Each structure stands twice: as structure tokens, then as C-alpha cells.
Amino acid sequence: MAMPPARLVVLLVQSTLHGHFSSGIIIFIMVKYVLLRKVKRMKLTREDVLNVALLSRLEIRDDEIENVTRQFNDIMQHVDRLNQVNTENVRPTAHALPVCNVLRPDVRQTSLPREKAMANAPLAEDGFFRVPKIVEG
Amino acid sequence: MKYEIVIGLEVHAELKTNSKIFCGCSTHFGAEQNTNVCPVCLGLPGSLPVLNQRAVEFAIRAGLALNCEIAEFSKFDRKNYYYPDLPKDYQISQYDLPVCKNGYLDIEVNGETKRIGITRIHLEEDAGKLVHPQTITTSNYAYVDYNRTGVPLVEIVSEPDIRTPEEARAYLTKLRSILEYCDVSDCKMEEGSLRCDANISLRPAGADYFGTKAELKNMNSFKAVQKGLEYEAMRQEDVLADGGAIRQETRTWDEARGVTLSMRSKEQAHDYRYFPDPDLVPLLISREQVEEVRTSLPELPDARKDRLVEQDGLSSYDAEVITASRAVADYYDAVKKLVDDPKTIANWIMGDMMKQLNTRGLSITASPVTPVHLAEMIQLLNKGTISGKIAKNVFEEMFVSGKKPAEIVKEQGLVQISDESAIIAIVEQVIAANPQSVADFRAGKEKAIGFLVGQVMKQSKGRANPEMVNKLLKERL
Ligand SMILES: [Zn+2]
């Protein structure tokens, strides 16, 4: 069950992107989507792009879709190349860094004052975050 | 056609650590909203989660108590979905390498023991809590409290080995009991520290494939789980009998109406796109650590039950009831140390004690009647100082006042009358006053003696020794 090097690349990309919302993350999410769904390498369509965008709650303008789809396919082609590498005897990689067991003792620490915790909340009331009604369906 | 029900359960149990799974915020239940939160559990940019070692230890404990294999290598993954109770838009969970797998527990239903497989146990973080304003239908917003976000959970997934709603309930009862024994979770369904989802499907009896399943949610008690599953099995049977097909969907149990309802949600929402969390490094669990945890495990419910049956001579049923809760079993053991009369102790705990505790909504650890008091009362009973009937009153009085039984007996003059001449006097009075019953008995109506015994007991205010009353009455009839 060797992890394909493509997965490793994804992790590395993720590590570097973590915490930043660059346009690259759109592509990243698409790669992840396709890899994890084990989609056989067919050309990715406009529908795939829109589905990934929905899953990621990202808005892609109509005039962007074509370009994004092309970039997406380019990246998948690269991933395909990586997938050709023989990983038969390679141990699966769970993390990009050779580190294990980073743990903390079960000790309480002071939490944030509520005013601070809620300082950036777009909507708040009575110490609660306020969100739009959740509609099922 | 005859159908067979196939059920698998997913149970979430909050672990009773002091702090959350990836940060130092308190896990205390009932704190003011959004006061136990920090950059890590709120998912603020730049924060890094660090795994709580006790959460890992608790997961291993639960795994060993449930006969699981403990992984040597485990890791955490992100489960991606959007819901306002999830501040990071992903939940840190475990996907393909959970801490524990391949376990089981044994249940007993209708006198038969059955083994239910446990597929896996994984660690994950809890989500926050949505609070709806009173007018949920008309209101355009909801409130979110993130205190619960990041509280450590184990998710325990059973194999689809459960065949009836009753078995499902027995499984949950046993599971709760085991988690409570190994002291890893409070298991309070009413506080949400234990939650259960069920997968249920039907198939023709004897088939070797599975039917399409529905996932059942929102069952807030063990009874609700059983009732929800009973209803859902019936509903699916009706659909199939009409030639219809079961839709794979999530359904919610409506307790008030006693029905399950479809929760329509977007198909895409179920694509969780798991991937390894780059913020957390893998977990290596040494065999030494596993053995250390194993030796620290307490005697578990099954072993304890066997001990009560084999050493104390209790019936299997009594032993099951006493050992279902560790606190009750501990109480029983404490009384038994003081007075070696297992059956009587079990009867008092299962009868008067449970009744009083339930009426007052107390747990046995908060009982005003201590093990010492109960033991003393049983001694008074066994010595013949008080009768069984009086003992019931003494017990109630102990429960209310917290006084010692000897004190109550002395204060209220409840000492049993075992003086033959005193009892004879009452017996003769009763015989004289009830000629009809006496005649009935002599004419062969055996039951009439019950009335006469009752009259003697009444006149003695329950203090007459019942065996002597019976004997002396019979001698005179
Ligand atoms: Zn926190």
C-alpha cells in the first residue's frame, strides 16, 4: 500500500500552502479531489471543475472556467507521470517530515477572552456566533 | 417474503480528559458559551494542533477493553465538509489508520450470548453546538457555541452483526458499561457525551448480500435507538413489500411523532475528501505502552459478572444488573465486605435502592444510604431484630434522614416481636374478632389465613415475627 509519490507531492504542496489562500489552492483542491476519487485519467471537464468548486465553496467566474480546466488537466498530466514511478518497495508516507509522536500532557491552559475570540465574527449575539439559517436540502 | 434486519452502530463517546484533544482549552460541560475556545480550536490562521497524550491513552484503553488490535502506526486525517458547527471547515479525524481495529463485545439477549464485532475505533475532535432561537422555523439565523469544538471523541464502529433493535440496545448498554468501567467517558446521553447513529437495512432472510441501508440519526436515548430502529425496519419492510426500493439516505428519528424522516441533503456534501493532516505528525504506539495500559485496566463487566455468579452464587440475571454499572458493582462489593449475604444485598440494591435513586434522580455514589448502613441493616434483619417489612421502612427512613439503621429502629421502637406469649395474645384477639375468616379457613379456603396473618401484622404495627405468626395461627385454627 505504498503511497504514490503524487500523494507526497500533494502533501508538500499542502504544507506550503497551508494558511494561505492563493489561487493555487484551487488547483490543489482539484488534484486532491481527483486523486482521492481515483478518477481514471480521462480529460477533466467543465463539470468536474464546477463540482470541485462547489465542494470547496469557491466561486469561479464563467470566463475563468476554461482556463482553470486547462490548468487542471496540465497538473493531472504531471501527476500521471509521477504515478508511473515504481513504488513497490517504498513505505507509505504519512507525513513529509520524519517526525513522530509530538504530544502534549493533558493540562488545561487559559482560553481566549470571549471578546477576543469573537472579535472578527461578522455576526454575534449574546456571546454566540450568529450564522444564517441552516437549510437542509 | 421474510426479511432479516441488518444493523451496524456508530457510537461517539467523549473522552473525559481535562483539556481538548489538540489544545489546552477546558472540556468542562456547561461553561458559558464560547469561553472555552482558543486559536487552535477556533481554527484561526497560524495555529497548530498538538495531540493530547491522555486522549491517546484513553483510546487505547477503550480498544483493549473492547478486544481490539492496537495500531503500531496511526495518523490523523482531515474530513472536509461545511457546517457552521465546524470552524475550520474540516474535522480532524482518522481515515485509514485508526488507533484500534478488529475488536468485539459480547451481548446477552433472551438468555443467549452473541458476539458483535467492532470494526474500528478512531480518535477525532468533536464539533461545536448549534443553538436555535425558539422559533426555528421562522428564524433566519442560528447561534453557535464552539466550547465543545475539539473535545476528544472516540468513534466506535460496529460490524453489521446486529440483527434486531433489541440487540442494538443490548450492544449499547454493554458498550456504555465497558467505557464507564475503564473510566474513559462519562457516557451521558443527555449531555451528549455518548451519541449513537445506526445503519439499518433489510435483506431476504438467509441472503448473503446486504440491502440498501439508511443511516438513522438523532436518537437521544437507548430506548429511542430501539424504537427508531423498530420503526425504520417496519418502514423498509413496507416499502420492499410494495415492490419499492430503499433509498440510501440519512433519516432522522422524530421522537415526538415516533417516525423517521428523510433528511434531504445535497449528494455532494458527502464527499469528505479525506487527506492526511499535515499539521499533525504520525503516532507510533509502542507495544510496551500497550502492555502498560493493559495492566492498568480494571476488572471489566463480563469478568465481574462471572465472579458474582461463581463466587457469590448470584443468578446470572442479578449479576448482570449489579455489574451493568461500575458504581453499583462497587457499592455491592463494599456491602459484601461487611456482611457476607450476596443474595440479600443484591435484592436490596436492585429493589429499594434503585427505586429510591430513580425517584430522586440520584446515582448510587450520591446515595444517603452508605454501604455501611445497608450492611448494618441487613445484619439487623438476619439477627431477627427487625422483620423484612420493617426493614423496608427503615431503609426508606435511612434514605431520607441518612441516619444509622440501629438508631432508627431504637427511636421508632421497631424491634421485631419474637416473644411467643406476646404474639399469642394478638393471634387470639384476631381469631376472636374474625369468625368468618376462621370458618372459611376451616372449610378448606387456604387463602383465608393470609387475611388473618395480615390482621396480626397490622395490630403489631408490622413488628411481629411473620414466621411465628404463621406457625402460631395454624396451631390455633
Ligand atoms: Zn482551544
A68-91 pLDDT tens trace: 999 989 988 898 888 889 988 888
CB contact under 8 A, A94 and B279: no
In this model, does residue B54 exceed pLDDT 90? yes
Q: How far is CA B302 from CA A99, B64, B323, B324, in A?
A: 40, 14, 8, 9
pLDDT in the model for residue A30: 57
Shortest distance, CA B119 to any CA of chain A (angstroms): 20
CATH no., domain B420-476: 1.10.10.410
Tens digits of per-residue pLDDT, B59-77?
999 999 999 999 999 999 9
Q: For residue B330, what are the CA distances in angstroms to B97, B327, B446?
A: 37, 5, 44
* B18-23 average pLDDT score: 98
DSSP string, B397-443: HHHHH---HHHHHHHTT---B--HHHHHHHHHHHHHH-HHHHHHHHT
Q: What is the predicted pLDDT for the residue at B140? A: 80
The whole-angstrom separation of Cα B383 and Cα B162 is 49
Section B43-65 average pLDDT:
97
What integer is the mean pLDDT of B344-359? 94
CA distance A7 to A82: 9
User: For chain B, where do the domains classified as CATH 1.10.10.410 start and end?
Assistant: 420-476
- In this prediction, residue B271 carries a pLDDT of 79
Q: Residues 24 to 43 of A: which have CB under 8 A from any B CB? A: 29, 32-33, 36-37
Confidence of residue B307 (pLDDT cuts 50, 70, 90): very high
Contact A32 B273 (CB under 8 A): yes
Is pLDDT larger for residue B407 or for residue B133? B407
What average pLDDT does the segment A100-110 reach? 97
Indicate whether B151 pLDDT > 50.
yes
Q: What share of chain B in percent tops pLDDT 70?
A: 97
- If we measure between CA atoms, which residue out of A29, A97, A36 comes closest to residue A68? A29
- Mean pLDDT in chain B? 92
Query: Helices (H), strands (E): how many in chain A?
Result: 5, 3
Angle between helix B326-338 and B316-323 (nearest 10): 110
Lowest mean pLDDT among A8-22, B91-105, B249-263: A8-22
Which H or E run contains A11?
Answer: helix A5-17
Contact between chains at B84 and A129 (C-beta distance less than 8 A) = yes
Q: What's the whole-number mean pLDDT along residues B346-352?
A: 95
The pLDDT assigned to B406 comes to 87
pLDDT band at B191 (very low <50, low <70, confident <90, very high): confident
Q: Which of A75-84, B24-33, B164-173 has the lowest mean pLDDT?
A: A75-84
Count the alpha carbons within 13 Å of B446 in the hemisphere toward its beta carbon: 0
Checking if the pLDDT of B269 tops 70, the result is no
Give the pLDDT band of residue A33 (cuts 50, 70, 90): low
Q: What is the ipTM of this complex?
A: 0.80
Integer Cα distance of B198 and A51 in angstroms? 29
Predicted pLDDT at A16: 45
More confident residue, A136 or A120: A120
List CB contacts (< 8 A) between B90 and chain A.
Answer: none
Least confident of A47-61, B106-120, B191-205, B231-245: A47-61
Quick one: which of B318, B304, B349, B316 has its CA closest to B331?
B349
Least confident of B424-428, B451-455, B460-464: B460-464
Write down the pLDDT at residue A15. Answer: 43
Chain B touched by A112 (CB under 8 Å): yes
A125 reaches B (C-beta below 8 A): yes
- pLDDT band (50, 70, 90) for residue A48: confident
Beta strand pairing call for B141-145 and A128-132 = antiparallel
What residues flank ion ligand 1 with Cβ within 5 A? B 23, 25, 38, 40-41
Q: Would you give the DSSP letter of residue B88?
A: T
What are the domain boundaries of chain A? 1-40, 42-82
The cell numbers describing B238, all together, are: 413496507
CATH code matching the domain that covers A42-82, chosen among 1.10.150, 1.10.357, 1.10.20, 1.20.1740: 1.10.20
User: Closest approach of chain A CAs to the CA of B359, in angstroms?
Assistant: 36
Angstrom distance (rounded) from CA B294 to CA B285: 13
High-pLDDT (> 70) share of chain A, %: 67
pTM of the entire predicted model: 0.82
Give the range among B70-74, B95-99, B175-179, B189-193 with minimum mean pLDDT. B189-193
pLDDT at B410: 82
How high is the pLDDT of residue A112?
Answer: 96
Number of C-beta neighbours around residue B471 at 10 A: 14
Look at residue B218 in the predicted model and tell me its pLDDT: 87
Q: Hey, which residues 252-281 in chain B have their CB within 8 Å of chain A?
A: 263-266, 268, 271, 273-276, 278-281
Q: Kindly list the residues from chain B whose CB atom is less than 8 angstroms away from the CB atom of residue A96.
A: 278
Q: Flag if B278 and A36 touch (Cβ within 8 Å).
A: no
**SS3 letters for B12-25?**
EEECCCCECCCCCC
**Per-residue pLDDT at A76:** 87
Q: What is the mean pLDDT of residues B349-371?
A: 93
In order of A64, A130, B31, B43, B147, the CA distances from A127 in angstroms are 40, 9, 12, 18, 11
- For residues B340 and B379, the answer to whether their CB atoms sit within 8 Å is no
Contacts of B284 in chain A (CB under 8 A): 100-101
Residue B333: per-residue pLDDT: 96
Assess contact for B471 and B458: CB atoms under 8 A: no
User: What's the pLDDT band for B138 if we cut at 50, 70, 90?
Assistant: low
Of B222, B170, B174, the C-alpha closest to B196 is B222
- In the predicted structure, residue B137 carries a pLDDT above the cut 80: no
Q: How far is CA B445 from CA B436, B452, B477, in A?
A: 11, 12, 12
**What pLDDT does residue B265 have?**
58
From the number of C-beta atoms within 10 Å of its C-beta (0-12, 13-18, 19+), residue B409 rates as buried
Among candidates B193, B146, B189, which has minimal Cα distance to B31?
B146
What pLDDT score does A5 carry?
46
